[in-house]
Structure 1
Amino acid sequence: GSLHSNLFSYSLLCSLPGTALECVKLAIDVGYRHFDGALVYFNEHEVGQAIRDKIADGTVKREDIFYCGKLWNTFHPPELVRPALEKTLKASGLGYVDLYIVELPMAFKPGKEFYPKDRDGKYIYHHTDLCATWEALEACKDAGLVKSLGVSNFNRRQLELLLNKPGLKHKPVSNQVECHPYFTQPKLLEFCRQHDIVIVGYCPIGSSRDASWVNVKCPPLLEDPLLVSIGKKYRKSSAQVALRFNVQRGVVVIPKSFSPERIKHNFQIFDFSLTDEEMKAIEALNKNIRFVELLMWSDHPEYPFHDEY
């Protein structure tokens, strides 16, 4: 299936060992078909196992499932791109991935460490050549290892770098970025629409309050009075309203949950619609504040969030 027909995905970020297997099986039973994974989540073997089990018991066929994998920062040099994708294929046992994306536009020093640091605890960066990395990804698509290619956390300038690349064979089909009622991304959304790039929104219901990587200055999204009151009208939660808002704007949402109740709950957004007035009111909640700023890498030459969008 295409990304547009999979407006709803299940994010596999940071699960505890053993939980991904059961959660993915449940999610498939509930109706999820799009799974957002990554090598750096360290659970691709479980996710692949769950999908293969559900294919084996006849619940789904491989072509019903849309699996997204990600190229991590330490694999940007062109000669490392295919081996990284092959790691994902081997771990998941899926044969091919539907979408493979550049997780971040910032390269780190290649090697065994996913988060390489020097003796002083500073991250060790690597020269980034996004076009060269992209060409290696195009070769993976031509070899049949992946159906579509995309990016994540790219700003407009970085997208244009790829779109204007001489000899571009396969354009990015998607850009996975933070997107929710407090951070609506109107300019990036419009730019991507003009170029037929699907926006996949992470943290669509806000994020955890883990101050080690989340900006906790922004108030909790799910306590927003407007989202709560619109929810009451439809007998829905503020989370369901936030998800519905993005889906109605054509943004693919990837909520993360390892609670069986919430996995089911997050999926129940296709039996109601928000009015134009409600959509406008929710859009007006935009605070232009990111939950996920990645400030620890803000000195990287390709750090994407210095630009306006």
Structure 2
Amino acid sequence: MENIEPDNAQVAQLVRDAIDLGYRHFDTAQIYRSEPGVGKGIRDKIESGDVKREDIFVTTKLWRNAHGTDDVVPSLRSSLQELGLDYVDLFLIHWPTAFQSGPNQFPKDEVGKFQYASIDYLDTWKIEVHPYLSNSKLVAFCKSHDITVMAYSPLGGFKWRNGETEGPSIFNDSTIQAIARKYEKSPAQIALRFQLQRGVAVCPKSSKKHRIAENINVFDFTLGPEDMNRLLACDRNYRLNAEFPDHPFYPFHENF
């Protein structure tokens, strides 16, 4: 499990491009190492007068080794310093499974086993939602309690195993491709529109300007009820991110 250092100059440029295209919510995290680039792009557009800070919604996240009571505030302050911002709009718990507190973000014991922390809580984090994991029961529960759901990995993706990718891609799905042809849109646009019509906010990731432009161009069409049902039927309960199932507070054993 290695951290890939991003090119934060490129990240800053992508953020500037995204603001020009109309994006106003930017998602980053300590573990992504992209906070400096995200912050730089936002600050540049504020300084140029194109946007105000209050126009931008910034999310960053607390990593697993800082769930302890004494660790949270210092971790947030570190993120603010990396971003070069006075505040963030949302500070999420990145994952519900905590690691041992300390400077090591992936602490292991002498035999290479991850060192967990017995920290349990009820709080809020984004949930994985895409056509192969509709998470309908959890989405319905949240709606019934007036909780807004934000989907991470709304375009699906691959599972990573020892540096290799595995698993199905929604972009190759025949149903999604057929619906994309019908509406003259890309499979990605269909996947994003699907979530928006379910009342689920989306947080797609891209490192290409033309894809960033494509991903925001989803408000000029509406999927019909039949196509929404066809997309719901794509559900395979296929979870991309379900690490550390032996953690004492692993949440995905629950029937949600």
Q: Structure 1 length as normaliser, TM-score?
A: 0.78
Matches within 5 A, 1:234-253: 234-253=183-202
Shift of 1:276: 1.2
Q: Which residue of 233, 257, 261 corresponds with 2:182? A: 233
Q: Which runs of 4+ in 1 moved over 4 A?
A: none
**Separation of aligned partners in 2, 1:14 and 1:280:** 38
Q: Give the letter aligned to residue 273 of structure 1.
A: T
Q: Structure 2 length as normaliser, TM-score?
A: 0.93
3-state SS in 1 of match to 2:124: strand
Question: Could you say if the C-alpha distance between residues 208 and 183 of structure 1 is closer, same or farther in structure 2, counting changes exceeding 3 Å?
Answer: same
Contact 1:222 1:239 in 2 (8 A): yes
**Separation of aligned partners in 1, 2:218 and 2:120:** 40
**Separation of aligned partners in 2, 1:211 and 1:236:** 32
Question: Could you say if the C-alpha distance between residues 17 and 215 of structure 1 is closer, same or farther in structure 2, counting changes exceeding 3 Å?
Answer: closer
Contact 1:107 1:127 in 2 (8 A): yes
**Separation of aligned partners in 2, 1:215 and 1:290:** 14
In the alignment, is residue 278 of structure 1 matched against residue 227 of structure 2?
Answer: yes
Query: Residue 303 of structure 1 aligns with which residue?
Result: 250
Question: CA-atom RMSD, angstroms?
Answer: 1.8
**Separation of aligned partners in 1, 2:251 and 2:180:** 34
In the alignment, is residue 69 of structure 1 matched against residue 60 of structure 2?
Answer: yes
Query: Residue 133 of structure 2 aligns with which residue?
Result: 183
Shift of 1:129: 3.5
Question: Could you say if the C-alpha distance between residues 202 and 302 of structure 1 is closer, same or farther in structure 2, counting changes exceeding 3 Å?
Answer: same
Q: Give the letter aligned to residue 24 of structure 2.
A: R
Q: Which residue of 68, 72, 85 corresponds with 1:94? A: 85
Q: Give the letter aligned to residue 245 of structure 2.
A: S
3-state SS in 1 of match to 2:160: coil
In the alignment, is residue 127 of structure 1 matched against residue 77 of structure 2?
Answer: no
Q: Give the letter aligned to residue 240 of structure 1.
A: Q
Query: Residue 124 of structure 2 aligns with which residue?
Result: 151
Question: Could you say if the C-alpha distance between residues 284 and 215 of structure 1 is closer, same or farther in structure 2, counting changes exceeding 3 Å?
Answer: farther
Q: Give the letter aligned to residue 84 of structure 1.
A: S
Quick one: percent identity of the two aligned structures?
A: 42
Shift of 1:28: 1.0
In the alignment, is residue 25 of structure 1 matched against residue 22 of structure 2?
Answer: no
Query: Residue 287 of structure 1 aligns with which residue?
Result: 236
User: 1:248-301 CA deviation, whole Å, 9 max, x = no partner?
Assistant: 11111111110111111111111111011111111111111112221xx11111
- The worse-fitting range, judged by mean Cα deviation, of 35-44 and 237-246 is 35-44
Shift of 1:214: 8.5
Q: Which residue of 88, 99, 108 corresponds with 2:99? A: 108
Q: Which ranges of structure 2 fall in alignment gaps of 5 or more residues?
A: none
Q: Give the letter aligned to residue 94 of structure 2.
A: E
Q: Give the letter aligned to residue 302 of structure 1.
A: F
Contact 2:58 2:89 in 1 (8 A): yes
**Separation of aligned partners in 1, 2:74 and 2:16:** 28
**Separation of aligned partners in 1, 2:5 and 2:213:** 17
3-state SS in 2 of match to 1:193: helix
Shift of 1:230: 1.2
Q: Give the letter aligned to residue 268 of structure 1.
A: N
**Separation of aligned partners in 2, 1:245 and 1:111:** 41
Q: How many residues align?
A: 253
In the alignment, is residue 38 of structure 1 matched against residue 29 of structure 2?
Answer: yes
Shift of 1:216: 2.6
